[in-house]
Structures are given as structure tokens and as C-alpha cells.
Structure 1
Amino acid sequence: MNQIDPETLETVGRINYRNHIALNLATAHPHYDDQGNTYNMGTSLMGPGPPRYIIFKVPADAPEKGRDKPALSRVQKVGSIPFRSTLSPSYFHSFGMTENFFIFVEQPFKLDIVRLATAYFRGVNWGSCLRFDKDDITLFHVINRKTGRAVKTRFYSAALVVFHHLNAYEEDDHLVFDMITYKDSSLYDMFYLQNLKTSSLSQSNESFCPPTCQRFVLPLSAHKESPRGINLVTLVDTTAQAVVQEDGSVFCQPDTVFIGLELPGINYSFNTKKYRYFYGSRVEWSPHPNKIAKVDIVTREHIEWTQDNCFPSEPVFVASPGAAEEDDGVILSSVISPDPNISPFMLILNAKNFEEIARASIPADVHMDLHGHFIPAAV
């Protein structure tokens, strides 16, 4: 990892995760709590013991004698989950967190360790070592944040692929979490050069499944003696279902919230809490989103911003100072265009109605980006 000065953007150092915790990979989407602690997940392939998924915490507070040391030097292991298949760990890009639990989705989109180990010698790319098993299931691991132990109930759903979690929270002894899901792994194929270069990009990609925001609800009171064949979800604002099977496991069916949006974001002060709005890039058969949107989970309605020949980045929500309402703030998005008469610009929208407040042009070439992050000025 590179250490970057938030004021100057200069690289001030480099840190190797593995000097502090036995990890080979870590997600791009850590979580933060109200105390400033950071939580993340990674894969441990070569550490002591069998391979596992590792949940770890980087504490916010440093002892007086250790303030000059990197934060990762204080990393703490919270818990771990053994691989379901030793040589085929699940690919994961993010995970969920509520006030009391972590949610890890062990999906049937898997990394073939043997193929990966020999990829260099065979002259193939990393992506070719991933495979999707449509006949497998998707496991939902629920880990207690305090004890690091998994709940005993086995929750699962049909095969799916997920990259991004939106949010997760607890309500009336239910665990609710929202994700952007796919029916298969064809999204990866959209980014191969032969598909990007085609003259009819939209038509060539119509066979790829669209991203779908789905809500899963896990009844935490479910157990092996719960009645069979009955939906145990009692929340009134969702159609998600959870039904105990004959073996005591719980099969979960999602509530579809919205179709055609990726790179989701929320007002992060509502992370781990019940929320209403999320923002993201509209995806319509193209890897180049030309719209950004706000979705109302309650009404299932959405509003959009778009401009001809412009490609906005993932929208980032920034709350107004002293904001009391969830959507009181602005949306930031960096926008590029192939039109030489349109300079790259930072777009600022009113988060409530998506009306443009301002834009700031940048006299430089800017590449299309994926994830963005707002860092407030030090006070």
C-alpha cells in the first residue's frame, strides 16, 4: 500500500500488509465506525493453518509511544472464515457491516488457485483464473463483531455474482443488507478489448445481465427447529423471503429494488443504519456509464443527471454541515467527454433533486475513473 499525503497528494511511504497480518489480498472497500476504526477483509492463502478469509481491524487510536508508526502496525484480527473449497476461494470485492455483525458473501464466482499459480507460465491473465459455477449456491456468513464467531444458522441463496454492497442494518431481529448483484459473471467479458472496440457496443452487450440492486433479509431468530416452508421475514416494507429447509438451513430470496445501476454510494453517516437513498452510475449495456442516478428505496423511484457526450464518474455524496436529513448535501462527480470543446469538469449537484449547483472545469486531461473519495479539509 502507498501512503499518500491528503494535502499534497505526494507519496510519503509504502506499507506491506503482510508485514503485519498474513494476507494475500484485501478488499477495496473497508468500513469505518463512529470511533474512526477501520475494518476490512482479506484472503489468507499462505499463512499458518488452512486458508481462510480474514476480518481485521485497524484501531483509530494509537498509544503515545506508537504515534510515529503506521496504523497497520496495530492491526487486529477480528475473526476468520474457512474456505468452502480449499483450492477455489470465492472472489470478493466488498462486504457488509451492521452495528453488531459482519456479512460476508461467499459467492460461486471463484478463483482457481492452481490456474493462478501457473498463469504466468501459461501466458494467461488473472481474469482467466476466475470461474462462475451457476449450479452452486451463494453462502451468507454472519459474523459477530464482538466475538468474531459466525452465527450457527446457515443462510444461502441461488448462485449470483456481487461486487458492491450498498449498506446493511438490523431491524426487529432481522439483518437487512443490499447489494448490486448479477446472474452470472458476463460483466467481465464486457471489458475485453474485442467488445470495447465493436462499433455497436450496446447491441453486442445485450446478452450480458444487468446489475440489479437486491435486498436480502436474514431472520436472526431462525434456527433448526423453526417451522419449515414458511417465510420467516416479518418486515412489512420488503418482499424478501427466508424459508427454513428440511436440513435446517435457510434459503433466502431477495427483494429487487432497482435494475441498471452500479458503483453505488450512500450518505456514509447512515452506514449500519436504516436508510432510504443511494446513488450510482446508470449502466445500460455499456461499460461507459453516461448517467448518474439517485434511487429512493421506499418509493422505488429514481432521478438522473446526464449530458450529451459526457461520461460522469461514480457519484460521491457529501453531507451539508450540520445536515439533519439523509439527502441534505451535494453529489460530486468528475465528468469527461470525447468532445474537445468540453473540458473535464467536477460536477456538483443538489443531492435532493439532482439539479446542478456548479461545475469546475479542469485544464488537463483526465481519465475515466471508478471509485472516488471525498476528504474534508483538516480543521
Structure 2
Amino acid sequence: MTLNPHHLAYNIVKIPPPQEDEKDKSDPLERAQVVLQLPSSERLKPSYLHSFGMTDNHFVFVEQPVKINVLKYLSAWSVRGTTYMDCFESNDSMGTWFHLATKDPADYLSSYKFRTSAFNIFHHINAYEDQGFIVVDLCTWKGHDFVYDYLYLANLKGEWEEVKKAAMRAPQPEVRRYVLPLDIHREEQGRNLVSLSYTTATAALRSDGTIWLEPEVLFSGPRQAFEFPQINYSLCRGKKYSFAYGLGLNHFIPDRIVKLNVQTKETWVWQEDECYPSEPLFVPTPAATEEDDGVLLSIVVKPGAERPSFLLVLDAVKLTELARAEVNTIIPVTLHGTYKP
């Protein structure tokens, strides 16, 4: 994020990989560089940002209506004795904006003004280009209220019925597919610009020059979220794909692992009583040719058990258990992880 008296901008930063020369011990972060700046819709109120999308040729940045009040932030602790969380605001009138930029050369495409109804977003699943369109799959929470406001510990450690009531008031989760057309002509105003045969997502040019997007819903259940998504990154990152894996949240409580076919919307589930898994990590089978040929790894917590934590290994095709490695200590519930062979 860059702030100066004239504008506030979101920075996309390029971090080079570590040098192969073992003698070079330099920190890659020291060689990081800002490759692109994207404007904020409000000068002193940037949107909360957790991730962005990339295709082979484009960056996709979603600007959501959950805002950080910079003036409140600068005075939060020293003047007002408040926290970072007290600096968030929700803009109930802006909806959600999609910003588009090219990667090489890095250039913000200011003429593409994509708009849609309000939602919260933390995680992009994947994005790819197909026949003149950019397809973007997201884990969303409907509405402009900030999801974090419903995740305070006081709201989650009460009786289960109270937890469910709080979740009923919160923004509701959906996995959505948005399609952004790259070839837009003014004479096509009001007509659906999306011609891809495999999606019901739409895009329509409005009289004010904005392109209004309506999504295709890929996954939606009553208070059942699909979050912390993973794909076969080595094979499908930035490419058309079929499968996503995620952590299933039941009224915000992580109690299952879910596989989603984004083409057919079919799902597979692993679940066990009193077990709370973490983000599933996909590890492909060496020399695999199929997208879902591999295993999923997840750290699972099972309170009260003789061995209360274990590493779960699932077959990524059917989500059947292959193995588990139990330990005699409690491992805290995790959010993100990585697999290093």
C-alpha cells in the first residue's frame, strides 16, 4: 500500500526466488520491487486486502466494500487507545469493484470498470483466460458487513445454538465464478457479453460505461462455507481446471474437508465426529497426468482424545483416508500451511 498527499494505491510486489548459488545468502525480500500500482476508490479508505488473482497475462484485484479508515488507524493506539479492528468500516453503497491490469508490461487497464453487488473476500481459488474472457473463481461472503465482526472468540465459545444464531446474522458464504470480458464494444450496451458455453455468469455494459457482473454460484449451503481453497497449483495455476479443495466451515467451525468439481458442482466430503481439520494441502503424485491424482494433507485436532492431534492423509480423488500420523500433544488449529518435500 502506498500513501501520499494525492492518492492511495494498492501495490503489487514482485519477490524474486532465492538464488541457486549457495554462497548468495541475500534475502529475496531485499530485492522485491513494486511492479504495479492500482488506485483506491477512496483516497483515505482502502479496502481490506487478503489475496489477488493472476492469469498468464493479467492481474485481477477485487476491491471490496470493507474499508480501513486510515485516519482512525494512524491514531488508533496512541490517541484513542483502540485496536486495528476498530478501524474497519463498511461502505454500504459502493458494491464490489474488479480492477484489471496487464502483467507484461504491467499496466492498469483503467477503461475496464467492472462492478457487482457487495461481498467480502479473503481467498481467490483460481483465475484463467479463455476465448477472450477472464474467469475468476472466488470464495465470497455476501453483503458489505465485515465477516471478522462475527468471529470474535466470545461469539464462538458459547453454546452451540448461540454460535449458530450469530452465524445466521453474518454474511453468507458462496463459491462464485465471475467472467470478465476483454473485448467490449459500446454498441453492445445491455446485452450479456459472456459467450462461454460452460457458465451462467453474465456481464453487461451499462450506460455509465461500467460492466455489471453477475456470478455463477458453484457452491452454496445454508451456513456452510468452502474456504482456504487449494488446487493442483503445479498443473492448473492460471489454467482452466476442474477441482478445488477446501476447508468446510459449519457456522464458522471447521469440521470437514471438501472437494469441489467446479465444472459439475459435484462435491466429496471427509468428516469425522469431534474432528477439526486445517487447510488441506494438495500434493500431486510424481509424474501424475490427471489433475486430481495425489493426496491431501491436513492437521486435524480432536479434543479429548488420547492422541488429540494427527496428520491426515486423504486420497485426493475420492477423499478416502489413506493414513494418519497421531501425536500425543495438542497442535493449535492452523490457518494456512505449505508442503515442502
Name the TM-score, length of structure 2 as normaliser.
Answer: 0.92
**C-alpha separation between the residues in 2 aligned to 1:366 and 1:61?**
30
Pick the aligned partner of 1:87 from 26, 44, 55: 44
Check conservation: 2:188, 2:205, Cα contact below 8 A: yes
* CA spacing shift, 1:49–1:114, aligned 2, 3 Å: closer
**C-alpha separation between the residues in 1 aligned to 2:126 and 2:228?**
13
RMSD over aligned CA atoms reads 1.9
1:339 and 2:297 matched: no
> Which sits farther off after the overlay, 181-190 or 346-355?
181-190
Spell out, residue by residue over 1:104-150, the C-alpha distance to the aligned partner (whole angstroms, 9 max, x if none).
11111110011111211322221121112222121111110002112
**C-alpha separation between the residues in 2 aligned to 1:208 and 1:63?**
48
| Counterpart amino acid of residue 107 in structure 1 | Q
- SS of structure 2 residue aligned to 1:232: coil
**C-alpha separation between the residues in 2 aligned to 1:52 and 1:209?**
27
**C-alpha separation between the residues in 1 aligned to 2:103 and 2:61?**
12
Check conservation: 1:258, 1:300, Cα contact below 8 A: yes
Structure 1 residue ranges (4+ consecutive) displaced by more than 6 angstroms after TM superposition? 63-66
**C-alpha separation between the residues in 2 aligned to 1:282 and 1:234?**
32
* CA spacing shift, 1:251–1:44, aligned 2, 3 Å: same
1:255 and 2:216 matched: yes
- SS of structure 1 residue aligned to 2:104: coil
Counterpart in the other structure of 1:119: 76
Check conservation: 1:133, 1:159, Cα contact below 8 A: no
Deviation at 1:362, TM superposition (A): 1.7
Spell out, residue by residue over 1:337-366, the C-alpha distance to the aligned partner (whole angstroms, 9 max, x if none).
112324200000000000100000122221
Check conservation: 2:90, 2:146, Cα contact below 8 A: no
- SS of structure 1 residue aligned to 2:291: coil
**C-alpha separation between the residues in 1 aligned to 2:253 and 2:245?**
17
**C-alpha separation between the residues in 1 aligned to 2:303 and 2:21?**
52
Check conservation: 2:66, 2:146, Cα contact below 8 A: no
**C-alpha separation between the residues in 1 aligned to 2:187 and 2:29?**
43
Deviation at 1:332, TM superposition (A): 0.4
| Counterpart amino acid of residue 327 in structure 1 | D
Deviation at 1:61, TM superposition (A): 6.7
**C-alpha separation between the residues in 2 aligned to 1:101 and 1:154?**
15
**C-alpha separation between the residues in 2 aligned to 1:350 and 1:323?**
14
1:276 and 2:276 matched: no
**C-alpha separation between the residues in 2 aligned to 1:359 and 1:249?**
51
Structure 1 unaligned blocks of 5 or more: 1-42
Task: After TM superposition, list the pairs within 5 Å mapping 1:123-142 onto structure 2.
Answer: 123-142=81-100
Check conservation: 2:307, 2:328, Cα contact below 8 A: no
1:177 and 2:177 matched: no
**C-alpha separation between the residues in 1 aligned to 2:154 and 2:17?**
46
Spell out, residue by residue over 1:186-236, the C-alpha distance to the aligned partner (whole angstroms, 9 max, x if none).
52122223312321222332222332110000010014x241110000001
* CA spacing shift, 1:324–1:310, aligned 2, 3 Å: same
- SS of structure 2 residue aligned to 1:162: strand
Spell out, residue by residue over 1:155-209, the C-alpha distance to the aligned partner (whole angstroms, 9 max, x if none).
1111211111000000000000111111233521222233123212223322223
1:322 and 2:287 matched: yes
Counterpart in the other structure of 1:29: none
- SS of structure 2 residue aligned to 1:114: helix
1:160 and 2:119 matched: yes
- SS of structure 2 residue aligned to 1:290: strand
Pick the aligned partner of 2:321 from 344, 356, 374: 356
**C-alpha separation between the residues in 2 aligned to 1:370 and 1:65?**
32
Pick the aligned partner of 1:234 from 183, 191, 195: 195
| Counterpart amino acid of residue 62 in structure 2 | V
* CA spacing shift, 1:327–1:64, aligned 2, 3 Å: closer
- SS of structure 2 residue aligned to 1:85: coil
Deviation at 1:52, TM superposition (A): 1.3
Counterpart in the other structure of 1:207: 169
Deviation at 1:65, TM superposition (A): 11
Structure 2 unaligned blocks of 5 or more: none
Check conservation: 1:210, 1:284, Cα contact below 8 A: no
**C-alpha separation between the residues in 1 aligned to 2:102 and 2:96?**
20
- Percent identity of the aligned residues? 38
| Counterpart amino acid of residue 136 in structure 1 | M
- SS of structure 2 residue aligned to 1:298: coil
Check conservation: 2:307, 2:329, Cα contact below 8 A: no
> Which sits farther off after the overlay, 331-340 or 93-102?
331-340
